[in-house]
C-alpha cells in the first residue's frame, strides 16, 4: 500500500501527520510521477497551500471581507468593479429546508468571471490552463493593464470568497453545528530545464482517468485538485451559470498536476428537488446525470461546441486515497491546533529533506 503523508504544524511548532492510503490505480501512479517530479524541481520541496473553515459566523465575515476587497481594488484607480456586485447579508429563512438566499448568486458568478478575466489578462504564466478570452467583456468592469503583488492577492481572495460564499448564500451554514475543513496543497508547477527554459510538471488526463471521477465524499478523502482557472461544466451547472456556455467560457480540467485537496465535513445536506448534490456518501446516479445533461442541452452546450456527455465533462473529482486518522469527535480539535501544512512525504517514492511551505490565504 502506498501512502501520501501530509504533515501539519501548530503555532507552537508541534508536528502531526495525516496518513492517506492511496488507491492502486493508474491515475494514482501518474499523479505520484508528477508529484515526485515536482519534489525534484528544486533543492527543497516548495508547497503552496490554502485552507478554509466553513461556519455561519465565518460566512458573515467572508461576505464583508469580499465587499472590502472590491472597494480597496476600486480605490487603487487601476481597476473598476461595478458597485452593483457588492453583496448584502442574506436573510437565511428557516422555513425553507433547502434554500438560503439565491437572489445574489448572479453577483458571485460575475465576480468569478472578473477574477478569471483579470488573472488571465495579467498573467505571464504560459502554463495556465484556460480558454481564449480575447475581446471578452463584463459590463462595468475595467482594468488598465497595471498590476502588482497586492492586487494579485486581492483578486485571488475574490476567487476564494466567491467559492466560500456559494455555500453561505445557499443556507448550508444555518446549522450552528456544521463544520467543514477544506485544504488545497500544491507542489511546484514547473521546473527549470536549463538556459532559462521551464517545463511543466503535468500529465494530460485521458478518458480512462476522467471515468474515475466521483461525487466528492464529505469525509477523509484525498482528491486530485481541479488546478484550473475557471469553472468546468458541472460547476457552471451547480452555480446556475449558463452564461458561461454562451460566452464559451467553460474550462474543463486537462491535466494531472501536483495538487490535491482534502475535506472533512461533519454533515451532508439534501439537494433541492430537481437538483444534484455534489458532496455525499454515494456516487452520482443515472437520474442525477440526466438532470445535468438536460441542463446542458437546454442551455445550448452542443450549439457552442461542448460534447457534454463525453468523459471530460463528468461530474465530481478524481479520488486518490483516503484516511481514517480522524473522527467526527476529534477533527475539530485537530485542525484548530494543527492548522498549517508543513510538508508532504510519499514513503519509498519521494521524501524531501528540506521544505518551503507558504499559505496563500492571508487576510485583507
Q: Name the packing angle between helices 105-122 and 149-169 (round to 10°).
A: 160
The answer, yes or no, to whether residue 134 has pLDDT greater than 50, is no
Instruction: Specify whether the CB–CB gap between 239 and 166 falls below 8 A.
Output: yes
Order of all β-strands in the sheet with 45-54? 340-345, 3-9, 15-22, 319-322, 219-224, 259-265, 180-186, 45-54, 355-359
Grid coordinates belonging to 179: 463544520
pLDDT of residue 153: 87
pLDDT of residue 222: 98
pLDDT of residue 184: 94
The answer, yes or no, to whether residue 94 has pLDDT greater than 60, is no
Tell me if residue 142 falls in helix, strand or coil. Answer: strand
Residue 339 CA to residue 269 CA, distance in Å, equals 26
Taking the model in full, what pTM does it have? 0.81
Instruction: Specify whether the CB–CB gap between 214 and 277 falls below 8 A.
Output: no
Rounded CA Rg of the chain: 20
pLDDT of residue 78: 93
Domain ranges of the chain: 3-359
Interval 78-97 mean pLDDT: 81
Q: Mind listing the pLDDT tens digit for each residue in 291-346?
A: 999 999 999 999 999 999 999 999 999 999 999 999 988 999 999 999 999 999 99
Considering 151-165, 262-276, 288-302, the range whose residues carry the highest mean pLDDT is: 288-302
Amino acid at each position: 500500500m502506498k501512502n501520501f503523508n501530509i504533515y501539519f504544524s501548530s503555532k507552537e511548532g508541534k508536528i502531526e501527520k495525516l496518513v492517506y492510503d492511496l488507491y492502486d490505480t493508474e491515475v494514482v501512479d501518474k499523479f505520484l510521477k508528477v508529484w515526485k517530479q515536482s519534489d525534484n524541481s528544486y533543492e527543497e520541496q516548495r508547497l503552496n497551500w490554502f485552507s478554509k473553515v466553513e461556519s455561519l459566523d465565518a460566512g458573515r465575515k467572508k461576505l464583508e471581507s469580499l465587499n472590502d476587497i472590491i472597494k480597496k481594488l476600486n480605490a487603487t484607480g487601476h481597476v473598476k468593479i461595478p458597485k452593483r456586485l457588492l453583496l448584502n447579508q442574506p436573510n437565511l429563512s428557516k422555513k425553507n429546508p433547502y434554500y438560503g438566499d439565491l437572489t445574489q448568486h448572479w453577483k458571485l458568478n460575475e465576480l468569478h468571471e472578473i477574477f478569471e478575466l483579470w488573472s488571465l489578462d495579467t498573467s505571464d504564466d504560459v502554463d495556465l490552463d484556460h480558454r481564449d478570452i480575447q475581446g471578452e467583456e463584463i459590463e462595468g468592469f475595467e482594468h488598465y493593464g497595471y498590476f502588482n503583488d497586492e492586487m494579485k492577492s486581492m483578486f485571488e481572495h475574490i476567487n476564494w470568497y466567491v467559492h466560500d460564499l456559494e455555500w453561505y448564500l445557499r443556507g448550508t451554514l444555518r446549522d450552528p453545528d456544521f463544520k467543514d475543513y477544506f485544504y488545497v496543497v500544491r507542489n511546484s508547477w514547473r521546473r527549470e530545464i536549463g538556459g532559462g527554459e521551464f517545463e511543466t510538471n503535468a500529465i494530460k488526463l485521458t478518458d480512462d482517468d476522467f471515468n474515475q471521477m466521483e461525487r466528492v465524499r464529505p469525509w477523509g478523502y484525498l482528491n486530485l485538485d481541479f488546478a484550473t482557472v475557471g469553472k468546468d461544466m458541472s460547476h457552471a451547472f451547480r452555480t446556475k451559470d449558463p452564461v458561461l456556455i454562451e460566452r464559451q467560457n467553460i474550462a474543463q480540467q486537462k491535466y494531472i498536476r501536483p495538487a490535491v485537496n482534502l475535506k472533512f465535513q461533519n454533515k451532508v445536506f439534501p439537494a433541492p428537488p430537481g437538483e444534484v448534490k455534489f458532496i455525499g456518501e454515494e456516487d452520482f446516479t443515472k437520474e442525477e446525470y440526466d438532470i445535468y445533461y438536460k441542463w446542458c442541452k437546454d442551455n445550448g452546450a452542443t450549439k457552442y461546441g461542448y460534447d457534454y456527455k463525453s468523459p471530460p465533462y463528468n461530474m465530481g473529482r478524481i479520488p486518490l486515497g483516503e484516511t481514517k486518522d480522524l473522527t467526527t469527535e476529534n477533527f475539530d480539535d485537530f485542525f484548530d491546533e494543527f492548522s498549517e501544512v508543513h510538508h508532504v512525504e510519499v514513503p519509498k517514492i519521494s521524501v524531501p529533506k528540506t521544505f518551503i511551505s507558504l499559505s496563500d490565504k492571508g487576510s485583507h
